[in-house]
Amino acid sequence: MLSSDTSDDRSQPFGGIPSTLALETAVPLRNALSRDFDQTQPGPAGQPCLIVLSGLPGTGKSHFANELRKRLPLLVLESDRLRKVLAPNPRYTRGESHRLFAAYHLLIEEYLIQDRLVLLDATNLTEDFRQPLYDIAQRVAVPLVLVRLTAPQEIVRQRLSDRGAGMHPSDYSDAGWLIYSRMHPHEEVFARNHLNVDSSKDISEALEEVVRLVKGDNRATLA
């Protein structure tokens, strides 16, 4: 559903969300993530890192995150899951999204300060949406790893069809082909160095590349 809120709130803290409200909104998200937090350990050599996934619905972001979690002690913030913590029946309005983004930006910074390896699983389609994440990494002085997921449209269509048929009950996303089609024209390539991953192919090499980047291996390369 498209938002009816057309006000320009870019000049306000947290995208128009007062900081006190952002703090309050973060509470249920923090509670939902408490078990995940307790099960993670600080990053290698106590070095935190922020990993940001980007990609349209159906491009394999959550699968990539789950596979990477088998290789690294990640604290994963999945935007679709966290949205439903805030709103079990989300409306996907502009205001709802801004509340969500403001809250998980606070939590990302909080977890990085506590030396966690944090992965954000969200569409993050434009530089406007990604800039706050760049700012957090710079402010906390942690490495930033950017990964763009893609897949051929025919594969995405099939994945989204399977999702709509309930074939993946653990999938929190409601996005179908219509949402993909609306979002597709607005996707922007990262303006910074990043990994490009076609999830229709073997992703094992890309996963190992991210592991090397997180561990500070000089052999790792970015596009």
The CATH number given to whatever domain includes residue 35 is: 3.40.50.300
Q: How far apart, in whole angstroms, are the C-alpha atoms of residue 117 and residue 41?
A: 8
DSSP bridge partners of 144: 50
Provide the percentage of residues in the chain whose pLDDT is more than 70: 86
* Domain contains 125: yes
Structural domain count of the chain = 1
Q: Span 144-163, mean pLDDT?
A: 96
Q: Span 42-62, mean pLDDT?
A: 91
pTM score over 0.95: no
Range of the domain at 40: 16-215
* Domain contains 52: yes
At residue 4, the pLDDT reads 32
* Domain contains 161: yes
* Domain contains 46: yes
Whether the pLDDT of residue 176 is over 90: the answer is: no
* Domain contains 149: yes
* Domain contains 222: no
* Domain contains 223: no
